[in-house]
Amino acid sequence: MNIIEQVKALENGKGIQYLLDSAYKIFNNPVYMVDAYYNLIAFSDNPIDDYYWNELIKKGTFPTNPLLDLIDKEDLLTVITASKKCVLINYEKWEYGRMTGHIFNRDNNWVGQATMHAHIPFDEERTEAFEILTEKISGEIYDYEYFTKLPIAFHNDIISRFLDKSVEKTIVSIPHTQVMYHGFEKFLYVAVMNTERNNNLEHVHQNRLEYFRSLLKTRYKSFKYAIYKDKIVMLMSSKYNNLKEASFFTTDNILLEENNLHIGVSGSFENILEMHQYYNQALSVLENGMKSPASQRLFLYDEKLVTFLIK
């Protein structure tokens, strides 16, 4: 069998470690998998004494200090994280290239990467075989509870960092910034949802927020969610750059009324690093809208209204 046939023949249901160990034997190249936080999940043998590999295995995550100069090569990191398929990366300080591909869970959320050190170079056939391997790994972890829950915590964490303006230029934050675009159209929007707290105890209120986030996620699977400062924040996208055509939440008025919910939606933007600015816009829309005497539940940003402008 050729290398593609060998990868296709790997059995399902035997675990990530089985797939990586088998891939090592087929490709004669070492391979590892990390999760969305770049924490090591599993790895194969490696007969080559490779500093970066050794540090990853020892620390359980990427060695930061030796790779700080990579931070200035955002184009390289963008290629890795924005690619839809596997991509071969070469870097002058690496003795060997890296073939890397994304791993997705059952909801098509990015949950990690599989990377193979290219001691033996990749040709077209070996590249296709590696793509099949990443698909097999995605199929293997499809229903793993760890990977089905991971995106909820990951999105909450990264969005909160955007809103706190704590996303720094680090080896991890640049890829994470790029990954947040996965599955999105060109134009981004922020929505902020308010729930009535009444006199609920803190833990009761937090549980209600978790419930409403879960409810919204069942309806809008492509959105990315966070609970931030007692509000539910949603990062959304559309191919349209105006709210009228984007049509978010326009059929959900009954849902909002029944649960006493209000939502404010920002205008469109393209750079995810500007999310904090548009969160403030959506929050202003929400707060001003709730002061109006009308029984409206959904408030959309209107650039013609001075009271709704970004402050």
Domains along the chain with CATH numbers: 3-142 (3.30.450.40), 184-308 (3.30.70.270)
The pTM of the full predicted model, rounded to 2 decimals, is: 0.78
Q: Of the ranges 26-30, 194-198, 307-311, which one carries the lowest mean pLDDT score? A: 307-311
pLDDT the model gives residue 78: 56
Percent of the chain having pLDDT more than 70?
84
pLDDT at 255 over 70: yes
Q: Check whether 84 has a pLDDT greater than 70.
A: no
Written as six digits, the tokens of 166 are 């704590």
Closest to 111 in 3D by CA, of 85, 146, 79 = 146
pLDDT tens per residue across span 41-63: 999 988 788 887 888 888 888 76
Beta carbons within 8 Å of 298's beta carbon, 6+ residues apart: 249, 250, 252, 253, 256, 262, 263, 265
Mean pLDDT of the chain: 83
